[in-house]
Structure 1
Amino acid sequence: MVRTVYSPEYCLQYLEQYASKEIFVIGLILGQKTGARENVIHLARTPDEKSSENSSETTFESDKLESKTLLNVSEAWVADHAKHVTRMLPGGMFVQGIFITSDEDIFEDPNSFSKVRSVVNHIHKVMSANQCMFGNCPLSNERLILHMSTSTKVLTCKSVEVGTPVKSTVIKPVEWKFLPKVQQWQRLDCYYEFDDVYPVIVKKSGISVKQQFQQILESAHKTIESSIMFIDGELKENTEVLEQILKKRKPKTHSKMQQQELPKSMNVSLFVPFENSLPESVEYLECDGSIHFSGVVSSSVFMYPKATVGETIAAVKQDIIRSLASRFTMHCDALIDDNLLPEEKVCFNEPPRRVLVPVGSLYLCDYLFPGEAPAEALLSVRELLDLQITEAEVVCDVETPADTSEFDALDKDTSSEELLATPQEASQFMYITGICFAMFVLIVSIIIHYYDAINEVFSKFVS
């Protein structure tokens, strides 16, 4: 059975735009694959590789023209583009392959096809390095290769399997269909709250911010994977289809036009079973400090209406973890000092917040650091997605900036310096407070116990 892929018609116009200029272009295919259907949402041209700063303008122009061939493409550069674009994709969306506009037939020329296979394999390898980014689609190891000839304007699509030896690579034909109508998507919104305290234990080898955040991310990953998802407050079977759930809720009195319209969004709630929120074993160690990880992650996932609840659950969980992994990476890359324990007694860090950017009939995302304006998102969208949008189209209210008033008050309060003198003293204070509270409860219990006994003796004596 031939694999079929569906995409909006503007993707064809996007390809013809570059093919008509008779120039070589390579880019990424972004989409979603479910058991019901495989949909492509966008084609994103890979930006030209930047030359060294010391090169002259003449050299830069000549290098730019020279690099406009498939054999001169850097696999690492395209894979880096895929990594950055994946951060912008909601859960359930992946880089499904690459597209090329060129004069040569990449499937007939052995050197060209070998290069194409090398590019998709390198993308697969890079995306596999960080499991929490969910860079590779779990449903298939096959990647799409879409080619449009700049001379004949003929479109050809095939798929190859990645992560396998070259000799065993199988090339399969793919049928690509362009949809004249806008694809309908079902939106699911979720707000997941974090309020956890993690110990900081500095070993002899030391520990960096990146290492500590990786531990937090792995812990959050286990917690979210163990959670149970409710859609609009109801627990659903994994085999149920989103479209069927919506039909059950619509009144029969509505017209056919109203019945065809999907609601703007469905609310999703994640609940963690109590037994899964407890550690398997408790080990008492002297901590060098602690990280209070607090905030709300906004999640907006777009699913094909015929997708199952099980596929939707996986997409929502992927979205939350991918968003955390993206923010942690961006935050660590922006740090000047990677030392985990700063000289200050209390250190406040605010990772970038999420904003939504429109792509076709759905939304992808970008991240803004504190103080950055929505205009910063336009640069990322233009460079990474090859899209032109306006600042007004960026949705910035899905997550609000952190409220630092409480932290500012604590930082200025000189009376709290003794309690927060060092991370070791802070941990010790909390430990002592716990013992005092336990002793208080024990004393009260003894008094109540003996009070009841004295009353019983006194009542017998009176009688």
Structure 2
Amino acid sequence: MVKAVVGEESQLQLAEDRLSQSSAPAQVGLVIGKLSSGIDRGFVYDLIPTPQNDAGQSACSVLEPAKDNRKKGSKPKSQSSDSSSSLVIDKDWVAEHARQVSRMMVGGIKVIGIYVWASEVAFKNSTMVLCQTVKGIAEAASLLEDDLDERLLIHICYSPRRWTCRNCTLSSSITSSSLRPCDFKMGRVLTSLQTFKCFYNFDLRLPIYQEKASKSETLVDVLRNGISNYVQELRGAKAMIDGNLVVNDETCTTDGLHEVELLLPFMKDMYIEACSQKDVVGIVSFTGSVCSFSFLNSKEPISQAVADIKDDIIRSLLSRLDIICDEADEDVWPNEDVIRETRNDSSSEKPVSQLVLHSLRRTCNLSLPRRVFVQWLAGTFISDYLQPSETLEVLKDHCVELMCMEAPNDASKILELEEEPVRVTARPFRDVVLPYCSRSSTSQEKSREVTSKGTSQKAIKSSNVNFIAAIIILLLSLLVGTSIFVRKS
């Protein structure tokens, strides 16, 4: 459990100045940083305010008690109002903000909680609402099942001005006891981060089962299950950093960019494995290259950077699937290269990502969004995902709306490292097997032809031998007969 939290002094001071200059009585937003269970410490890099919702309303407001005609002897209005005020928070909107921001995070940087700008009284009267909001953003931003079951709640009080931090333990039932105070101080955190980069190539072949063997699975379902099964194998991979195998929990002592290479054991051929299963009707080929960054605190072991890289790769793949699903819900085609089913039923109107694959009759191709990186704070990066038809303007808009930062107008601050998109190809199993069958049949025909040629040659040789033997016997017969005739005469 995290017992102490250190915040980046420069960024938190800017956030405090921004809040004090605003006229808003309350504000809620996301805490960006890292919770390290290995050293029981948390690191806060920045605070991002949650933007207004689609109706133009703030995600957090103060609820004052209703005005009524008070009887004689009642408390003064100001005192009653101060002691009864509480916070009203749009929990769903804050959770949606956390979901979209979490996609832009890289290894070692996550949405680790929320902050609230409010008075001491309003904060104390809103403990349950704040805990529920923390739980909501944790569920929305968690793509992996084994994420930490704790988040931070930072309260910035403006009367009197002070910062307090609490650790919120997530459970099925949130109570006031779920909040525990933890030490909080400001210092320099970002300047001591170490940078790690990894290019990871993968080639997954996932079977499509017939309807009787499983439920009606769409392309996204097959991909999501395949990635989930791939998590443990990827996490068990060995790693090399700058050409050296990582074998212990030593810390990183050198500066600069560190190259990470993941070493996986040889995989079994999924085609051969699928051939042995009678209920397989197709194959999904999931291939591509993922670029990943990870940022490590100087007090963390180097193995943590490798773990963050592996988690970031899985999160990146799942984030791309979520984007495809979001666009499918809006009835928007992912790209122009998608091949629709030409059958005359209702499924031909669906995007490829939502097609039921056990009834697939043709090959379907799908390109997932590519990852683009943007410089953020003190040499760190955040990322975004662009469809083939989207430009960098979409990236700039997301930086302004979601991250509350200036649009990156300098091209050198944008890294387009993934040159080829991650591709998905779904094929009926007969299209996979027939080429191998044709090859085997051709080889059988060739062997039969060779065999027939050998047999005919043997037959010819045997017939030639028999002919010569017959001639020799005939000559011997003539010679014997001639000699007998001469003797008699």
Identify whether the pair has TM-score above 0.5, normalized to the shorter chain: yes
Cα distance 1:234–1:276, how it changes in 2: closer, same or farther (>3 A)? farther
| 1:391-437 Cα shifts (integer Å, max 9, x gaps) | 32552321114499xx9xxxxxxxxxxxx9x8353133144146458
Match of 2:266 among 268, 274, 287: 274
- Quote the RMSD (CA, aligned, Å): 3.5
Do 2:374 and 2:382's aligned partners in 1 also have CA atoms closer than 8 Å? yes
Secondary structure in structure 1 of the residue aligned to 2:261: strand
Match of 1:116 among 117, 120, 130: 130
Provide the residue aligned with 2:312 in structure 1: 319
Provide the residue aligned with 1:55 in structure 2: none
Which consecutive residues of structure 1, in runs of 5 or more, have no partner in the other structure? 52-59, 247-261, 408-419, 447-463
Provide the residue aligned with 2:167 in structure 1: 159
Cα distance 1:66–1:347, how it changes in 2: closer, same or farther (>3 A)? closer
How far off its partner does 1:195 sit? Answer: 2.3
Cα distance 1:64–1:426, how it changes in 2: closer, same or farther (>3 A)? same
Provide the residue aligned with 1:249 in structure 2: none
Larger Rg: 2
Cα distance 1:390–1:122, how it changes in 2: closer, same or farther (>3 A)? closer
Match of 2:183 among 172, 175, 189: 175
Do 2:117 and 2:157's aligned partners in 1 also have CA atoms closer than 8 Å? yes
From the two aligned structures, give the one with the greater strand fraction: 2
| 1:303-323 Cα shifts (integer Å, max 9, x gaps) | 112321221221011010000
Q: Which amino acid aligns with 2:418?
A: E
* Larger mean Cα displacement after TM superposition, 201-210 or 232-241: 201-210
| 1:162-189 Cα shifts (integer Å, max 9, x gaps) | 2164457254333332236852211111
Provide the residue aligned with 1:302 in structure 2: 295
Provide the rounded CA distance (Å) in 2 between the counterparts of 1:118 and 1:304: 30
How far off its partner does 1:367 sit? Answer: 0.7
Q: Which amino acid aligns with 1:10?
A: Q
Provide the rounded CA distance (Å) in 1 between the counterparts of 2:445 and 2:13: 73
Alignment length, in residue pairs? Answer: 394
Match of 2:385 among 335, 344, 367: 367
Match of 1:350 among 356, 367, 371: 367
Cα distance 1:188–1:276, how it changes in 2: closer, same or farther (>3 A)? farther
How far off its partner does 1:377 sit? Answer: 0.8
Match of 1:38 among 42, 57, 78: 42
Provide the residue aligned with 2:29 in structure 1: 27
Provide the rounded CA distance (Å) in 2 between the counterparts of 1:219 and 1:442: 42
| Aligned residue runs from structure 1 range 125-136, under 5 A | 125-127=139-141, 130-131=143-144, 136=147
* Larger mean Cα displacement after TM superposition, 200-209 or 324-333: 200-209
Cα distance 1:343–1:171, how it changes in 2: closer, same or farther (>3 A)? closer
Provide the rounded CA distance (Å) in 1 between the counterparts of 2:104 and 2:395: 11
Provide the rounded CA distance (Å) in 2 between the counterparts of 1:183 and 1:350: 37
| Aligned residue runs from structure 1 range 67-86, under 5 A | 67=61, 71-86=87-102
Provide the rounded CA distance (Å) in 2 between the counterparts of 1:301 and 1:9: 22
Do 1:19 and 1:153's aligned partners in 2 also have CA atoms closer than 8 Å? no
How far off its partner does 1:27 sit? Answer: 0.5
Secondary structure in structure 1 of the residue aligned to 2:249: coil
Do 1:193 and 1:295's aligned partners in 2 also have CA atoms closer than 8 Å? yes
Identity of aligned residues (%): 24
Secondary structure in structure 2 of the residue aligned to 1:329: helix
Are 1:427 and 2:432 matched, yes or no? yes
| Aligned residue runs from structure 1 range 187-226, under 5 A | 187-204=195-212, 205-226=215-236
Do 2:27 and 2:60's aligned partners in 1 also have CA atoms closer than 8 Å? no
Secondary structure in structure 2 of the residue aligned to 1:274: coil
* Larger mean Cα displacement after TM superposition, 150-159 or 91-100: 150-159
How far off its partner does 1:147 sit? Answer: 1.6
Provide the rounded CA distance (Å) in 2 between the counterparts of 1:270 and 1:17: 43
Provide the rounded CA distance (Å) in 2 between the counterparts of 1:344 and 1:320: 32
Do 2:92 and 2:136's aligned partners in 1 also have CA atoms closer than 8 Å? yes
Provide the rounded CA distance (Å) in 1 between the counterparts of 2:264 and 2:196: 19
Secondary structure in structure 2 of the residue aligned to 1:48: coil
| 1:13-32 Cα shifts (integer Å, max 9, x gaps) | 11221233231210111111
Which consecutive residues of structure 2, in runs of 5 or more, have no partner in the other structure? 64-85, 332-349, 452-489
Q: Which amino acid aligns with 1:234?
A: N
Provide the rounded CA distance (Å) in 1 between the counterparts of 2:59 and 2:203: 52
Provide the residue aligned with 2:347 in structure 1: none
Provide the rounded CA distance (Å) in 2 between the counterparts of 1:433 and 1:311: 50
* Larger mean Cα displacement after TM superposition, 166-175 or 276-285: 276-285
Cα distance 1:159–1:222, how it changes in 2: closer, same or farther (>3 A)? closer
Cα distance 1:439–1:4, how it changes in 2: closer, same or farther (>3 A)? same
Provide the rounded CA distance (Å) in 2 between the counterparts of 1:357 and 1:339: 34
How far off its partner does 1:3 sit? Answer: 1.8
Secondary structure in structure 1 of the residue aligned to 2:364: coil
